[in-house]
Structures are given as C-alpha cells and as structure tokens.
Amino acid sequence: MISIEHIIRSRTGLRLPRWAIALLRRLLYERRINELILSGQGLQPADFLRHIFRELEISSRVRLLADLPASDRYIFVANHPFGALDGMLIADTLLRQWRDVGVVVNDLLMHIESLRPLWIPVNKFGRQSHPYHRLYHKALASPTRQILTFPAGLCSRLCDGRVADLEWRDRFVRDAERYDRRIVPVYVDGTLSRSFYRLAQLRQALGIRFNVELLLLASELFAQRGSEITITLSRPIDPRSLSGTSAQKCQLIRHEVYAMG
C-alpha cells in the first residue's frame, strides 16, 4: 500500500497541512493505485504485472531483432518514455524467458509489495545507502539474474520538438565490463501528454529544480488505458568490442536504442 503522507514525512520530515496532503493524494491517484495493488495482493511478480495490464487494458507488442540465448547474462538498457510503466512492460517481456529478473528502480516503488522481488532499489534523490549498494552489486554478480536499467534515470522530456531521454549515465557500460555481461539495447515506443512536457518546460524556465512534472506521472499511467505499446530489443553488444571511453560507448548504445524508433 502507498501512503503519500508517510512517504513525505519519512523522506523530508515535513508535516504538511491536511489540505495539502488531500491535494497530493488526488494528484498522485493514491486511492486508485492502492485499489490496483490490493486487487493483485498475494500474486507473484509475473502474475501481478499481467494482472495490472489486464486491469488497465494495456498490452505490448515485442519485436526481437536478434536471438538472445537464455544462458547468457545481460544488462538490458532502455529509453524511458513513460516512467514506471516502461519497467513493468519490459520486465513482463523478460520474465517470459527468464525466471530471475531485476529492474533498477526508484526506491519509492518498493511500496508495491508484490513487486519487491523484482526491484533493485536506488535512491534517485539522495545518496545511496549501503544496503542498496550491496543489493545492486549482488544482482550484477548473480549467475542467473538478468538486469534492466534506464540510464537516464528520469523519464523522457521534450527537447527541440522531439521527445527523448535526458543525458544517459555511463555506469551500465562499466558494470557490464566489470561483471562480464553483454548489453541489450531496448526501445520503448511512446510519449506522455503535452501537459506533462509543457509543465516540465515551464518549471525549467522558472528555474525550479524540483521536478514538479513528476506529480503527473500517476495520471499519465491511467491515461495509457487501452493502448498497445511496442518494445524492440536489439542484438546483444559486448561493450569491450566497442572503442572509446565508457562515456563514448554509452552514447553509441544510446544511438542504437533510438535508431530502432
């Protein structure tokens, strides 16, 4: 279950007035999200994901551009147009071939109890705790676990008339080399509403650092009801076969992701 009031208090120590909490609960769709979570309570991660997609009438179409041997170990790297929905859709795709999948996510998603076995939590808005750091590297070292990560960290924004990720961090390249994993580029086709991107642009123009537009992500999730989302997986890449620095390799792989769009 998700409690907006508890999350704010535990993260910031703030005790907001009741009217502010009530407003945030409506903006963040607390009741509807909790109804979804409760309706799938007790299900295993793969079944819970499929339950959510049925409830929201969301489906996916998967395009596989190359064979992915089940015995190999991968880091799947994807663009991030929707937020949490991307991770759930790709995880569902991977769970159809592998039983052991880990998704690097904002640790706020740990509040969805049925999906905790799937998540590899990171703190997007502060320093990493030692337990999170240990869980992350344990997952990478696992002989069986497949890893999914979003190098941008935040969902895509509108820039120069085109929706695309913010800057990618190259950590996934270094981790793939360190843990002897191949990298699989993944492209998720889709965008959020114009309201989301306009709010992001207004926030930037006003010099506001806090990502106010994130408050719309819950409503954006429900706005995808009835949609079919295409996911494309490319050929595996051995990062050691690429020339250049980790940052340059990161840009090459990002280019390959968007070339599938």
What span, in angstroms and rounded, lies between the C-alpha atoms of 83 and 105? 10
Q: Which amino acid is it at 111?
A: H
Question: What domains appear along the chain, each with residue ranges and CATH number?
Answer: 40-259 (3.40.1130.10)
Average pLDDT over every residue of 185-203: 94
18 burial level (CB within 10 Å; 0-12, 13-18, 19+): exposed
What span, in angstroms and rounded, lies between the C-alpha atoms of 227 and 224? 6
Average pLDDT over every residue of 162-176: 97
Largest Cα span, the chain: 56
Alpha helices, DSSP H, located in 157-243: 171-178, 194-205, 217-223
Output the pLDDT for position 161.
87
Average pLDDT over every residue of 132-144: 94
Q: What would the pLDDT profile of 41-79 be if each residue is shown by its tens digit?
A: 999 999 999 999 999 999 999 999 999 999 999 999 999
Output the pLDDT for position 126.
53
pTM of structure: 0.93
Output the pLDDT for position 8.
81
What span, in angstroms and rounded, lies between the C-alpha atoms of 122 and 132? 6
Is the distance from CB of 166 to CB of 64 less than 8 angstroms? no
Please say if the pLDDT value at position 18 is more than 80: yes
What span, in angstroms and rounded, lies between the C-alpha atoms of 9 and 15? 6
